[in-house]
Structure 1
Amino acid sequence: MAIKKVSIIGLGALGVLFGHHLSKRMKLEDLRIIADQYRISRYEEEMVYSNGELCEFQYVTPEEECSPADLLIISVKFNGLDEALHSVRKHVGENTIILSLLNGITSESIIGHVYGMDKVLYCVAQGMDAVKSGNKLTYENMGMLCFGSKEPGVVSPKAKELADFFEEMDIPYELVTDMHRRQWGKFMLNVGVNQTVAVYQTNYGGVQCEGRARDTMIAAMREVIALSGKEGVHLTEEDLQYWLDILGTLGASGKPSMAQDAEAHRPSEVELFAGTVIEMGRKHGLPTPVNEELYEKIRRMEMHYSAQ
């Protein structure tokens, strides 16, 4: 079955990036942005822009009756996932493909618990340097969406269907047959880059060059490598270099989401990154001093926001 109707929830950086890209290639009525009435009113008043172009979106509230989506893209922050899963219920049908663009290694299982793992494809968004400030998104590199089935070595009919759709829509992608390992690799990168850039108040350029920030980032990533072996994934230094090479392609002035949250004094996803690493370290009896230090520094930053 070909993908014709797409619904997206979450107009953060990735939601705007891919939503705008699709909006220029799909009929307006076939692409739906799910949001509550407060957000819709704000979007319509302030408008939404991607690299200077006005985004023309069809907005729908969670309560509106509609036909199920062929593809549902979830691009909210992790702390908004539970609310999002309630909001998308009218968009999920028997044959809906659900794609999560969230960071971390747990969102697919959470989504699958609610709507069934048979609807979920595992996904990693990589290589993009999008920065969203207010209602404006800017980026140099669109990156790509890497996706596949949970089972290693398998290309499911849903994965093939999504690949055909991305070909038609000119969305860069990679169909991966070992998504568990790829997700762990992206998790390793996020643990290093997101937290380090936020703590050092820098940008991608600040960790692309040699120095203390880059050393901290790599040390945090190596703690994930150590834990991956205990979890049966077995990341290596080659995986580390693969993700450092991807980091090297990003625009130096770009910033990951956690740094953008820090600048806007918003709560971060530190529990998803250092919090997860520390918890797994305790589980396996492995030290995680770098992530513990990053965790404490980010928590102090957040306490400072709330005190202002």
Structure 2
Amino acid sequence: MAIKKVCIIGLGALGILYGHHLTKRMPKGDLRIIADQERIRRYQSDSVFCNGERCEFNYLAPEDVEEPADLIIFAVKYSGLNDAIKAVKNQVGEHTIILSALNGITSERIIGQTYGIDKILYCVAQGMDAVKVGNRATYDHMGMLVFGEQEPGFISERVREVARFFESMAVPFEAVTDMNKRIWGKFMLNVGVNQTVAVYESNYGEIQKEGAARDTMIAAMREVMVLSEKEGTNLTELDLKYWLNVLDPLCPEGKPSMRQDMEAKRFSEVDLFSGAVLELGKKYGVSTPVNEELYRRIKEKEAQYHLLA
């Protein structure tokens, strides 16, 4: 079955980046951006821009009924996941494939509880340096989507379908047979990069060079490595090196999503990162002092929001 109808839910930096890219290559009616009526009115009134170009999106409200999508891409924040799951209900059909580009290690399981894990391909978005300010997203590196089945060792026909579609759309991708390790590796990167840049109030450039920030980032990542052994994923120093190599080419002035959230005085996804690390540390009796300190400092910063309002 060829993929023709695609839905994206979530117009953060990643959703805008991939949505704008696909609008240039798909018939307008075949790509749908799912959003509630209030957001749609705002998007249509203010417009949405990607690298300075106005995005020509085709919006669809949750209550609208159309032919089910062949592919749905979740690009929302974790805090919006439950609402997003409800919002795509009318777009999910018997053969729909779902990709979740959310951070963390739990979104696929949560989506699968509603629509069935058999509809989910595990996915990570890596290597992009997109930044969103207001209704404008900019990026230097598009990065890629990495996806595969939860079970290791094989490339399924569903994976091949998505690969063929992305190839035809010139979307950078990698289809892999070790998605559990890749998801944990991206989690390790997020724990290190997002939190360190947020706490140091800096950007990618600060952690691409030697110094205190980069040392903190790597120490936080190594705590995830220890936990991955307990979980049976077994990240190694080679995995750490791989993800540091993903980080190094990013635009030095770019910033991860957590830093962008904190600049805008929005509550971050810290509970997905150090929050999850602390829970796993307690579960396995593993000390996680670096993540404990990052968690404390981020929560401390967020506690000041109401004082600055």
User: What's the TM-score once normalised by structure 1's chain length?
Assistant: 0.99
Give the match for residue 199 of structure 2: 199
For 1:1-308, what aligned pairs fall within 5 Å after superposition? 1-308=1-308
1:129-150 per-position Cα deviation (integer Å, ceiling 9, x unaligned):
0000001111000000000001
Letter in 2 for 1:227: L
Aligned-pair identity in percent equals 64
SS at match of 2:93: coil
1:196-247 per-position Cα deviation (integer Å, ceiling 9, x unaligned):
0001000000000011110100000000001000000110111101100110
Q: Aligned equivalents of 1:307 and 1:233: distance in 2? A: 42
Q: Aligned equivalents of 1:229 and 1:5: distance in 2? A: 40
SS at match of 1:98: strand
1:107-143 per-position Cα deviation (integer Å, ceiling 9, x unaligned):
0111111101111000010000000000111100000
1:125-184 per-position Cα deviation (integer Å, ceiling 9, x unaligned):
000000000011110000000000011011111100000000100000000100000000
Letter in 1 for 2:261: D
Q: Aligned equivalents of 1:297 and 1:139: distance in 2? A: 28
Q: Aligned equivalents of 2:306 and 2:162: distance in 1? A: 42
Q: Aligned equivalents of 2:301 and 2:89: distance in 1? A: 36
Q: Aligned equivalents of 1:244 and 1:156: distance in 2? A: 29
1:225-271 per-position Cα deviation (integer Å, ceiling 9, x unaligned):
01000000110111101100110010100000000000000010000
SS at match of 1:122: strand
Q: How far is 1:67 from its partner?
A: 1.1
Q: How many residues align?
A: 308
SS at match of 2:241: helix
Q: Aligned equivalents of 1:239 and 1:160: distance in 2? A: 25
1:23-64 per-position Cα deviation (integer Å, ceiling 9, x unaligned):
000011101000011101110111001001110001111011
Q: How far is 1:4 from its partner?
A: 0.4
Letter in 2 for 1:82: N
Q: Aligned equivalents of 2:233 and 2:4: distance in 1? A: 36
Letter in 2 for 1:241: K
Letter in 1 for 2:297: K
For structure 2, the residue ranges without an aligned partner over 5 or more in a row are none
Letter in 1 for 2:180: H
Q: How far is 1:86 from its partner?
A: 0.5
SS at match of 2:304: helix
SS at match of 1:97: strand
Q: Aligned equivalents of 1:306 and 1:299: distance in 2? A: 13
Q: How far is 1:286 from its partner?
A: 0.5
For structure 1, the residue ranges without an aligned partner over 5 or more in a row are none
User: What's the TM-score once normalised by structure 2's chain length?
Assistant: 0.99
Q: CA RMSD in A?
A: 0.5
Letter in 2 for 1:101: A
Q: Aligned equivalents of 2:307 and 2:116: distance in 1? A: 42
SS at match of 1:93: strand
Q: How far is 1:307 from its partner?
A: 2.2
Q: How far is 1:306 from its partner?
A: 2.0
Q: Aligned equivalents of 2:60 and 2:128: distance in 1? A: 27
